Structure 1
Amino acid sequence: MKNYRLLLIALLFSAGMMAQDRGSVVGNIYGSYTFSNNVNFDYGHLDIGDGLTYGGGFEFFPQKSTSVELKYLRLDTSMDIDVPNGIAGYPDKKGDGAFNYILIGGNHYFDSGNNAVPYLGGGLGMAITEGPYGGSDTNFAWELKGGVKIKTASIVSISLQANLISTWAAAGTDTYWGYWGPVAVQDYAVSYQFGLGAVFGFNFH
């Protein structure tokens, strides 16, 4: 029995040392605390509450220190839409909603041979927003992130990271006067959601 335990420990240790080798595939589980923020638009503003952002994804390493990542994240939160005096026929709304992010991007690891490896990354994709009273809207989203990946003597790694996700939603138009007269330009409501959390990685190769 003791020999089997030693063999298992040796296998886990060798698997851990393979993390971030070229061709590696890592399954990630994400969890972070996302802070509240305020979004302004032409006829009022939207207060987005704080909450837990969670999800999963896969990370592929075409090179030892560079990865390509595909992931899904979800934030369940409160939404308070404030439109002063019901301007333009839009009443105030308050309730629970959610953001669903589908992002593709990558990370660059600054590996110096230590178990703690700093990294920077980002991604592009879409945010599917669920409103307080049903319905959904799909918009462009991007992410920036940075942190430290901590390797262990097993197939599991833990990353501590900070991230910023921004969603851009069309919100009416602004009119400008040009040489040929009035020109309507698309206006956007932009959210910036900052989070602190962890990523648990499971090395499959």
Structure 2
Amino acid sequence: MKENYFNLYYKLVAVVCFFVAISFTQRVHAQAFEITPSYGYQFGAKLNYGGNYIKFNDSDQYGVTVGFETLNELMVEVSYIHNGSEALIKDYFISPIESRLADLSADWILIGGNRYFGNSDKVKPFFGGNLGMVILSSSNENPLLTNRSYSETKFAFSFKGGVNIMFNEVVGLNLQANLMMPVDYGGFYVYGGSGGISTGAGANSTIALFGFSGGFVFRIE
């Protein structure tokens, strides 16, 4: 397990170093620099295993994206997004009636690209994709179901699409939809007795989390 975490962090550091190197080499050619703080809504998800399930409630999300233009209308970006949800479980052996399991926190760190379309400087549709990691952790666990917390880091990727509506050359309104997916995310599995929250083979799958957000974009050319 520790070796897997080390490999994960080494790969992440390599990606970050690559991004930093690209940013320095492209600095001279960059045409614009953008900062986009945002706040939005994250839809819940349901993870089925057998006749049981673990459900994550809807929640809010907030984050910030920093990007710079490397080619015409192509942005290279780094994003941080946070969302917190409540996990519920229904399991024949542990909780035959749907019960609250724990609060779940997700911190996404993503690096990717964003492409603007169209010829207008005022209304700028875009589509983008990102790779990175998500740090998952639990808190306020239900003592009737578990006696220890959950914490895990997973590779993740995401897609987004939306539009920037510019009020002037510097400030605009950002509206977008997000689809975020942890890679090989097993969710929660609760062992009885003295066990705790852990990813279990019976619930091993990837889920997609959909949300939308809005905010302001600040563009410096």
Short-chain TM bin: 0.7 to 0.9
In structure 2, the partner of 1:140 is 155
- What is the TM-score of this pair, normalised by structure 1? 0.73
Alignment of 1:98 onto 2:105? yes
Counterparts of 2:109 and 2:215, CA distance in 1? 16
The equivalent of 1:202 in structure 2 is 218
Check 1:131–1:165 CA distance in 2 against 1; reply closer, same or farther (3 A cut).
Answer: same
Q: What is aligned with 1:182? A: none
What does residue 151 of structure 1 align with?
Answer: 166
> Would you say 1:109 and 2:116 are equivalent positions?
yes
Call closer, same or farther: CA 1:147–1:45 in 2, change over 3 Å. same
Query: After TM superposition, where is structure 1 displaced by more than 6 Å over at least 4 residues in a row?
Result: none
Quote the residue 2:66 is aligned against: 58
Distance of 2:60 and 2:123 partners within structure 1? 25
TM-superposition CA deviations, 1:111-135 (whole Å, max 9, x none): 3124111111111111111124334
Mapped to 2, the partners of 1:86 and 1:43 lie a distance apart of 13
Give the CA deviation at 1:47.
0.5
Shift of 1:56: 1.2
- Alignment partner for residue 179 of structure 2, among 164, 173, 177? 164
- Superposed displacement of residue 106, structure 1: 1.1
Displacement of 1:204 in angstroms is 3.5
Please tell me whether residue 129 in structure 1 is matched to residue 136 in structure 2. yes
Unaligned runs of 5+ in 1: 1-20, 175-186
**2:36 and 2:174 in contact (8 A); partners too:** no
Q: Take 2:138 and 2:54, find their aligned partners in 1: how far apart are those partners?
A: 11
TM-score, structure 2 length as denominator?
0.68
Which structure would you say has the larger RCO, counting Cα contacts within 8 Å and 6 or more residues apart?
Answer: 1
Distance in 1 between residues matched to 2:57 and 2:155, nearest whole Å = 20
User: Residue 54 and residue 93 in structure 1: after superposition, are their counterparts in 2 closer, same or farther (change >3 A)?
Assistant: same
Q: CA, structure 1 residues 140+146, in 2 after alignment: closer, same or farther (shift >3 Å)?
A: same
Q: CA deviation at 1:152?
A: 1.7
Residue pair 1:80, 1:95 contacting (<8 A) in 2 also: yes
Q: Distance in 1 between matches of 2:100 and 2:138?
A: 9
- The one-letter amino acid of 1:100's match is D
Q: How many residues align?
A: 169
Query: Which of 115, 118, 121 is matched with 2:125 structurally?
Result: 118
SS of equivalent residue, structure 1 residue 153 = coil
Q: Distance in 1 between matches of 2:215 and 2:113?
A: 14
Deviates more, 1:161-170 or 1:63-72: 161-170
Distance 1:42 1:62 in 2: 48
Q: Distance in 1 between matches of 2:52 and 2:132?
A: 26
